[in-house]
Structure formats: C-alpha cells, structure tokens
C-alpha cells in the first residue's frame, strides 16, 4: 500500500543538504517520490509500506547526518510557542555571532589592508609589516581566532557533512577558511628569515569568507522566519480550550478533546474553537481571517461558524460539526504546507545542480592546487 508521510528534517543548511536527503531516501526500494523543502525543513515522501518502513527511512536520513522525525500536523499547534521561541533564540544567536564576527573582521581588515589604501591608515609602529613582520602577523592571528569561533557552525556542520560523504556549501566554506588559516600560520613562522612573506598571509581571507557567509545565513534565517510566520499566525487563531455544555453544566476542556455533536459555549470577545452550527444565541462574528471581509457577519440559530473566527458581542451555543484536521482552518493550513512542500520545475533543476556542485568545486580546487604546486613558479 502506497503511503504519503511528512517528516521534519533538522540539520539542513543549504540546497546541497536537502539534495542529500532526497538522494538517500530515493535510493530506498519502495520509495516512489521524495521532496525536501529547505525553507520549512520538511520532507514529503511517498512509499510502499510493504517494501520499506518509516523507521528505515528515518534511520537512513539520520545516518546521512540529519535529524528525522515523523511530522504530525494535527499536533503541531501544541509546539507552536516552543518552536517560535527556538527560532527567536536561533536568530538572536546568529545576530550575536554576526556582530562579533564583523567587529573583529573590520579590525583585521584595518590592520592587514589599511596600509594599502591611497591614503594609508595609521597603525602603531610596533605592528608595522615592514619593521615588525612577526607582530604584524601575530595581531592578525589574534583577530582571526574570534571570527573562527563565531563561525564555528561552518566547521562542525561542514566537516560532519564531509565525513558523511554528503559535502555541502558549509564544507566549502570550512575547507577554504581552514586552509587559509593554516597556511597563514605556516607563513608566520617563516617571517623571521623572510619578511617579504607577509604578502602571503591570508588571515583576512579566512575571516572575510566566514563573515560574509554568516551575513547571508542571518538574512536567510530572518527571511525564513517571516515565511513561517503566516502559517504560525493561523495556528494561533484557535484557542487551546473550549467550554463544553452538558446537562446544564459547563466544563472547560482542551480543544483536542472535542467531539462532533458537542455543544460549546462561545463567550463575547473569544474565538470560536472549531467549526459548527449555532444552536442558541445571536452575535456578530469577525471572519476576516477566512474571507478578508472587514465587517463582522451576523450569526443566528442555524448559522455556520468557523473555528478561529472571533465572536464579537453575544454569547453563542455551537454544535460541533468538524474537529481536528477536518476543520476549515486546519485544511487551509494543510493546503499552505502542501504548497510549500512542492517544488517548481526550476527548483528541481537547481537541486540537481547543487547535488554535484560542491564535489565538482572541490575536485577543481584540488586539480588547480596540484598544477600550481608542480608547474607554478615561486615568486
């Protein structure tokens, strides 16, 4: 039997990561289709449950270096607030790291490049590249180390992906920065005998690459947060509890416990917990979240009401007609998530390119390095 499931994938940071997850899952026997959305961090997969299990899918993804958990749409509302807090925390951390990286990078650029400007920037004589080359290199080293610390994510994620044989864009950044840093340290130890080697220091290159990519990652994270905001706002429309009226008594229960046929009391100024039909009372209901209509709609006995809409000025008794994932609001959210999970043809082409881009760049870099090593002339 063919099943379609959605999984939450963690640890992805670029298109090469999402391509790696798709590649791993598509290799499994019984998998018909696998699509990963980097923005939402979700994978939609169709598979024959007689040939492959959800446990095996999760194991393969985790073996590739990513987290994988089965996504339950109807339960996500419980996790909205923690998820928002986690996103906010992550964004603040990225901003903190970015600010720190820029401070040290700008100071490093001042030291390393300031003397090359048409109007050279002043620098203490003790750090002069011509008079004190070792000090000149040492101050650059000390300014680079904090930048490497702030950009440590690229090294942990990039080398981890490399060891899992799924190199990504972070792998390129990590290798490039690490090589520049390591080579500069080697050059620094040769400055005593050859001060002209200061021109072969590349501390600023390692720092600038990390800082610029961190800037892009921060802007991407901020954009992703806004993208998720629309769905999150819809999820927060329905209240967490409802007042159930039974045999003349009122009882507050979680919305998840509502059943079709229950009678719920919706007080003025509160949101309707789920779809239903008015059995008693009259009121105006704000349905702008669904229809875009700014004017409230009058509701009387027999009128249909939608979960998430706002009851304005009168008490309503509502007979529940739909609950959980069958409600209008849940279906709207489901359609939005499904639309986000599907890729345009051009996006599929981009994913295919990204899957081979990183290995190709690494191969070209190795070949170029070998050619320069054996055929190039030492200046």
Domain residue limits, the chain = 1-71+343-379, 80-234, 241-326
Instruction: List the chain residues with pLDDT less than 50.
Output: none
CATH of 241-326 among 2.60.120.260, 3.40.309.10, 1.20.1440.230, 2.70.150.10: 2.70.150.10
- The reported pLDDT for the residue numbered 77 is 52
The CA-CA-CA angle for residues 49, 54, 60, to 5°, reads 120
- The reported pLDDT for the residue numbered 262 is 93
- The reported pLDDT for the residue numbered 182 is 95
- The reported pLDDT for the residue numbered 17 is 84
- Beta strands at 31-37 and 67-70: parallel, antiparallel or unpaired: unpaired
Contacts 24+ apart (CB under 8 A), 150-154: 150/97, 150/98, 150/100, 150/101, 150/104, 150/210, 150/214, 151/97, 151/101, 151/177, 151/210, 151/211, 151/213, 151/214, 153/97, 154/210, 154/213
- The reported pLDDT for the residue numbered 221 is 84
What is the Cα–Cα distance from 118 to 123, expressed in whole angstroms?
A: 15
- The reported pLDDT for the residue numbered 119 is 82
What is the Cα–Cα distance from 274 to 346, expressed in whole angstroms?
A: 39
Q: What does the pLDDT look like over 183-238, one tens digit per residue? A: 999 999 888 777 788 888 999 999 999 999 999 999 988 887 777 777 777 777 88
Q: Under CATH, what is the fold of the domain 1-71+343-379?
A: Alpha-Beta Plaits (3.30.70)
């Amino acid at each position: 039997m063919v099943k379609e499931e959605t999984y939450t994938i963690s640890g992805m940071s670029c298109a090469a990561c999402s391509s790696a997850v798709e590649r791993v899952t598509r290799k499994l026997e019984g998998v018909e289709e696998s699509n990963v959305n980097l923005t939402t961090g979700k994978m939609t997969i169709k598979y024959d449950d007689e040939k492959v299990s959800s446990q095996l899918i999760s194991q393969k993804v985790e073996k590739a270096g990513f987290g994988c958990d089965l996504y339950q749409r109807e339960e996500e509302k419980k996790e909205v607030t923690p998820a928002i807090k986690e996103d906010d925390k992550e964004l603040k951390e990225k901003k903190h790291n970015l600010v720190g990286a820029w401070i040290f990078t700008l100071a490093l650029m001042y030291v390393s490049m300031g003397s090359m400007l048409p109007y050279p920037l002043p620098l203490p004589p003790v750090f002069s590249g011509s008079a004190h080359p070792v000090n000149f290199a040492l101050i650059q080293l000390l300014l680079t180390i904090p930048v490497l610390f702030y950009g440590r994510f690229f090294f942990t994620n990039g080398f981890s992906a490399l060891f899992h044989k799924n190199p990504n864009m972070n792998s390129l950044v990590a290798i490039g920065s690490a090589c520049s840093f390591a080579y500069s340290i080697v050059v620094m130890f040769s400055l005593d005998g050859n001060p002209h080697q200061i021109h072969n220091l590349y501390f600023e290159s390692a720092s600038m690459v990390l800082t610029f990519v961190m800037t892009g990652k921060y802007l991407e994270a901020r954009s992703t947060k806004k993208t998720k905001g629309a769905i999150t706002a819809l999820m927060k429309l329905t209240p967490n509890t409802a007042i159930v009226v039974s045999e003349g008594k009122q009882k507050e229960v979680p919305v998840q416990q509502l059943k079709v046929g229950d009678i719920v009391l919706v007080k003025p100024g509160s949101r309707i917990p789920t779809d239903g039909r008015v059995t008693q009372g009259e009121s105006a209901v704000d349905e702008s979240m669904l229809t875009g209509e700014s004017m409230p709609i009058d509701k009387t006995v027999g009128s249909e009401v939608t979960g998430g809409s706002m009851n304005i000025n009168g008490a309503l008794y509502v007979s529940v007609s739909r609950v959980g994932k069958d409600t209008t609001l849940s279906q709207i959210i489901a359609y939005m998530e499904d639309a986000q999970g599907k890729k345009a043809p051009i996006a599929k082409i981009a994913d295919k390119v990204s899957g081979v881009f990183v290995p190709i760049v690494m191969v070209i870099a190795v070949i170029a390095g070998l050619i320069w090593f054996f055929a190039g002339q030492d200046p």
